[in-house]
Amino acid sequence: MRDFVYEKPINVYLEITIACDLECKHCRAEAIPERSPEELNTQEVKELMDDIKGMGSHLIISGGDPLKRKDLFEILEYGKEIKLPTAVTPTTSPLADFEKIKKMKELGIYALGISLDGADENAQDSFRGVKGTFKNSMNVLSYAKELNIPVQVNTTCTKETVKEIKKIYNLLKEKFSPPVKRWSIFFLVPVGRGMQLQLPSHEETKDIFEFLYEKSKSSPFHITTTEAPSYKVFYLLKEIEKGKKLKEILESEIKMGFGIRDGNGVVFVSHKGDIYPSGFLPLKLGNVRKVKLSEVYKNHEIMKNLRNVNLLKGKCGECNFKTVCGGSRARAYGAKENYLEEDPLCFFGKEILK
Ligand code: SF4
């Protein structure tokens, strides 16, 4: 099988602030309304952007709410100047108005990331903790449509929101394709405020995977998962069942992001500049104020371990698909405090994975 080791990150996620006006139940950043004095300043962010540009990676500016930073447009302007592919994931609050989204487009962002966890006001507003969030999300999607900005919609899958997944698909397909180009279902990793929430059961996960696979064949946008790389194995097995050759699938389905997981193709920088393999794996590996992100990504022992599937333990260690999947290292750490352990979301029996 092909070796999916990413020597450079494809995506660098920068939590530019933890300030946010929403109170989302799953918030990794445990966001608060005010900005922290410890945030990286404008110059520090620009230096980080130079490093990211040097690696040839994409920058995804997240939060908190990036619009809480007054220097966001100056930062985007710099990204445009150095030709750094940059996307922004604003919070869908009234701060994300038409003019600001338009300005982001003028400053060259290649995509917007929008969160949607419910298909109506009740579901979305209760999950996001603030009334009016669903309406704001619909507004931002409409602005993106009018301005022709590609959107990735991120949907959190928990025991509570699992019933929303199918409805959200229908809503996006009927009303927002375009601008939606990619829909990513994030399977909860219990960190931050998300510690209070529960993962869907194996049965529910399998049902969602079935749904995603079935829709992926006709969907107007690409469907993917975050922190659930076993969906890629599910996808592969379905395609093999249909008679496709493994080599052919791996080569034709580049968008599936085979092998990408915490520390392998992605890396995360917090608002204080702390470096983590992903936003959900709380292993601090250094700080960009002291060391280059490119250096940590390439040479830190934990990053190297995360990219070495031969070190994986339990079911993941024995799995024949570990190079295309490798399990969520963040969830493994959450469950057993060992980032090399098996991913408890995985429902495959050992016999299937041989
Ligand atoms: S056992 Fe681990 S590597 Fe294999 S499919 Fe499941 S999560 Fe992925």
Q: Which residues contact 147 (CB under 8 A, 6 or more apart)?
A: 101, 102, 105
Nearest CA, atom 7, ligand 1: 327
* Binding site membership of 343 for ligand 1 (Cβ less than 6 Å): yes
Question: To test ligand 1's pocket by mutation, which of 189, 256, 321 has the most ligand atoms within 8 angstroms of CB?
Answer: 321
pLDDT, residue 250, reads: 86
Contact 112, 101 (CB under 8 A): yes
Query: What does the pLDDT read at residue 239?
Result: 93
Q: Whose CA is nearest to atom 2 of ligand 1?
A: 316
CB neighbour list of residue 139: distance below 8 Å, 6 or more residues apart: 92, 96
Ligand 1 atom with the shortest distance to the CA of 233: 5
DSSP letters for 241-256: HTT--HHHHHHH-GGG
DSSP 8-state code for residue 349: -
Structure tokens, 44: 């520090």
Q: What's the structural domain count of the chain? A: 1
Q: Would you say residue 34 lies in a domain? A: yes
CA of 224 relative to ligand 1 center, distance in Å: 16
In 3D space, the residue among 49, 41, 55, 63 whose CA is nearest the CA of residue 6 turns out to be: 55
Give CA 173 to chain center in angstroms. Answer: 21
Residue 32 DSSP code: B
317 exposed, middle or buried (CB, 10 Å; 0-12, 13-18, 19+)? middle
325 lines ligand 1 (CB under 6 A): yes
Distance CA 15, CA 66 (A): 8
Q: Which atom of ligand 1 is nearest to the CA of 316?
A: 2
The reported pLDDT for the residue numbered 139 is 97
Which stretches in the chain have pLDDT values below 70?
A: 1, 22-31, 128, 193-194
Tokens of 37: 């004095």
Tell me which amino acid residue 6 is.
Y
The alpha carbon of 100 and the centre of ligand 1 are apart by a number of angstroms equal to 42
Report pLDDT for 25: 64
pTM of the model: 0.94
Rounded to 5 degrees, what angle do the CA atoms 154, 159, 163 make? Answer: 70
Instruction: Tell the residue number behind the tokens 């890396």, with chain if given.
Output: 267
Considering the domain boundaries, does residue 248 fall inside one?
A: yes
Output the six-digit token pair for 71.
């220097």
> How distant is the alpha carbon of residue 205 from its chain centre?
18
Question: Does 170 reside within a domain?
Answer: yes
Is the beta carbon of 230 within 6 A of some atom in ligand 1?
A: yes
Question: Which residues touch 168 (CB under 8 Å, ≥6 apart)?
Answer: 116, 117, 118, 119, 153, 155, 183
Supply the range of the domain harboring residue 242: 11-301
Establish if 312 belongs to a structural domain: no
In a domain, 342, yes or no: no
Nearest-angstrom CA–CA distance, 354 and 351: 6
Nearest by Cα to 49 from 93, 8, 99, 84? 84
Give dist(CA 91, CA 94) in Å, integer: 9
- Tokens for 42, please give them: 């404008």
To test the ligand 1 pocket, which listed residue (331, 348, 350) has its Cβ within 8 A of the most ligand atoms? 348
Q: Confirm or reject: Cβ of 140 under 6 Å from ligand 1.
A: no
316 lines ligand 1 (CB under 6 A): yes
| Amino acid at site 54 | G
Distance 281 CA to ligand 1 centre (A): 18
- The per-residue pLDDT for 160 is 84
Report the nearest-CA residue for atom 6 of ligand 1.
346
Counting atoms of ligand 1 from 1, which one is nearest the CA of 345? Answer: 7
CATH number at residue 93: 3.20.20.70
Q: Is residue 348 part of a domain?
A: no
Those residues with Cβ within 8 angstroms of residue 216's Cβ, 6 or more apart along the chain or in another chain: 222, 223, 235
pLDDT score at 124: 83
CA distance 303 to 280: 14
With a 6 Å cutoff on the Cβ, whether 353 touches ligand 1 is yes
Instruction: Tell me, yes or no, whether 340 lies in a domain.
Output: no
pLDDT digits (tens, 9 = 90+) for 120-151: 998 887 776 778 889 999 999 999 999 999 99
Is residue 76, in this structure, part of any structural domain at all?
yes
